[in-house]
Amino acid sequence: MSQNVTVAAHSKSTVTFPVQTISHPQVWWPYQMGAQPMYTLDTTVSGGNSTHEQFGIRTITTALVGKAPSAPDGVRQYSVNGVPFVVRGGGFAPDLFLRYSSTDISRQVALLKNMGLNVIRLEGHLPPDDFFQQMDKAGMLIDSGQQCCDFWETPGTATATMNLLTLSAQTIGENERDHPSVFTYSWSDNEPSAAVETAELKGFKAADFSQPIISSAEYKSSPQLGASGEKEGPYDYVPPNYWYDTSHFDSGDDRTNAGGSWGFDSEESAGDTVPTLDSINRFLNASDQAHLWQNPDFNQYHANYETGHGGYKFGTLFTFDTALTNRYGKWTDLASYVQEAQVQNYENTRAQFEAFLDHSTNAAAPSTGTIYWQANKGWPTLLWDLYNYDGDQAGSFFGAKKANQPLHALFAIDNNTVTLDNLSGTTQSNVSVEAKVYDTNGKVLDDQGVNGLSLAPQQVRNAVVKPKVPTSTPGNVYFVELLVKQDNAIVDRNVYWQPTRQDAVNWSSTLGNPQATMTTYADLTGLQSLAAAKVSATATTTSAAGPDGADRVTKVTVTNTSTTPTVGFFLRADVRRGTASGGEQAGDNQVTSTLWDDNDITLWPGESQTLSVTWKSADLKGATPVVSVSGWNVGRFDVKA
């Protein structure tokens, strides 16, 4: 298309071309639901400049659905290309000093997709266009929006300020409008005033920004945009069964810190996340490491240093450690503390994501999305992250990854039933689910299953199996193992360690607070008495292209070889730099470019699981690769890779 235009000096002119219709367009989808085709638009002004832009064709719609006392205006739900989906996201933080690296973003995209997240939330500090281009290509959705708690929330009403807001919104809209990854834009904690809303919506309209705009990240409303249908919180420790609660909510207008898996929660988590020992050794000095396991009251600089504990304070790990002590028992050194913390982080993060999938079928107040606060941090951290600044993949990472498997069975801990979900973009047929219940001595207490299941894309099926769970067992703990098979091959293994005495939340003291006040903690201390398991492993490495520039793939087969019915609990594998003799190099020897298909696994005697991991050979720095294997009741050992 072309036309001749006359533009007078010192003026501008808008050039409008006829609408062009693309027949049978290739449609852009989030990565789990389909492909990400991109179209290109080139423009050239004769004798002037040219542009080269890409865009994707897709349709985003949103509505307020359901209605319950907890959500009188309904809850926010999104659909892409007419297909409703459950948002499973994380808050994304830029580098602390706003240093931008395209290579670093590529690595983080690989981590996010490896966990099965489908959304990241940006709160202000919008990154360069390269960031959005990478998300377009990756099929990662972006919930874009404003920063809380700063000038933009209460800017005043001066005419110059209103003009600035309009121009800012127009610039944001122009930068984001053609990126198919951007599916919504929202104000943060507080809704805009009428004047601010008018000024900014004027700017978005001038930019022809067509994505849904939401009035608040909390359960609030504004004059033009109406009810947000979103809520926030919690931010500090809550037990796993907190996430399954649907009957409690804050009576305030914003519904903040309002219980578990109902509605759309724009930011929430159980607070502190303890990295692996490898990562801890990279950023905590000896003194801080000693305080980490010996002094819960200590203000850790990397946990948002603040004075004291309790209430809205995050400087210490006091609330997390109190739960850890009561639920799993006292630790004896840094290594045992870190091991317990990995298990608690795993079970809690898994529960958050699984609860929102499980309750997405609720009619009155469906759970339509959860955004973990946060996916990452702009510096090394002990608070709010699924992976650390160095890419460390601790228990929280693999708990999220397990919950977000594309074809997955979960144990709903509110009613002890099994839910099956299909998060892919295609129908999954010939699926079977088996649920086995064990006591801590390895005795099988129940074994049930169902065959011949079929699930449509994004379908969630509740109560496909109802295993019989005990009211008392040795050590007051039992295990539930879920095996999903498709065409007789295991595609998903999910293991729970359950207390016969569950956590009990004191809801009257909890509502409106960023963490749970507990009446009773679950008793999982029986895990301390697990017998030592015998585990073997083999590993083979080949050259192969993988995500994020990986050029090696290692297959690690882990087998529980115990001759007694002893569980191998929470087994972890790591790729490391080794020596010529096959052992590990001294010092920081972990290969950090790894992306695993599973980890932190649990096996019973005779069971075996092959883990696949991609990584970059340059990370070896000339060394020989080895794989270390360790676990809750298994000492660490190495195998050549």
Q: Report how far residue 373's alpha carbon sits from residue 353's, in angstroms, rounded to the nearest whole number.
A: 12
DSSP 26: P
Tokens of 56: 């994707």
The one-letter amino acid at 425: G
Contact 397, 386 (CB under 8 A): yes
Residues 6 or more apart in contact with residue 271 via CB below 8 angstroms:
234, 235, 236, 237, 314, 319, 320, 383, 384, 515
β partners of residue 54: 40
Q: Report how far residue 629's alpha carbon sits from residue 608's, in angstroms, rounded to the nearest whole number.
A: 14
Q: Report how far residue 603's alpha carbon sits from residue 36's, in angstroms, rounded to the nearest whole number.
A: 37
| Closest alpha carbon to 540 in 463, 611, 456, 484 | 611
DSSP 31: T
The single residue listed with the structure tokens 């994505």 is 211
Active site residue 267: yes
The size of the chain, in residues, is 641
Tokens of 444: 């099988």
Q: Report how far residue 272's alpha carbon sits from residue 381's, in angstroms, rounded to the nearest whole number.
A: 9
Q: What SS3 string covers 277-326?
A: HHHHHHHCCHHHHHHHHHCCCCCCHHHCCCCCCCCCCCCCCHHHHHHHHH
DSSP 632: T
Measured CA to CA in angstroms, residue 273 lies from 46, 155, 345 at distances of: 57, 35, 6
Longest Cα pair distance anywhere in the chain, in angstroms?
89
Q: Report how far residue 212's alpha carbon sits from residue 487's, in angstroms, rounded to the nearest whole number.
A: 41
Q: How many helices (H) and strands (E) does the chain have?
A: 10, 32
Tokens of 504: 């009990």
Range 61-98 burial, b when 16+ CB lie within 10 A, else e:
ebebbbebebbebbbbbbebbebbbbbbbbbbbbbeee
Tokens of 572: 């972890």
Tokens of 509: 């003291």
| Closest alpha carbon to 613 in 632, 585, 593, 631 | 593
Helices (H), 478-629: 507-510
Residues 6 or more apart in contact with residue 328 via CB below 8 angstroms:
340, 343, 344, 524, 525, 527, 528
Residue in 245, 267, 268, 358 annotated catalytic? 267
263-268/230-231 β-pairing: parallel
Active site residue 434: no
601-603/624-631 β-pairing: unpaired
Contact 386, 90 (CB under 8 A): yes
Residue in 136, 178, 189, 481 annotated catalytic? 189
Active site residues: 189, 267
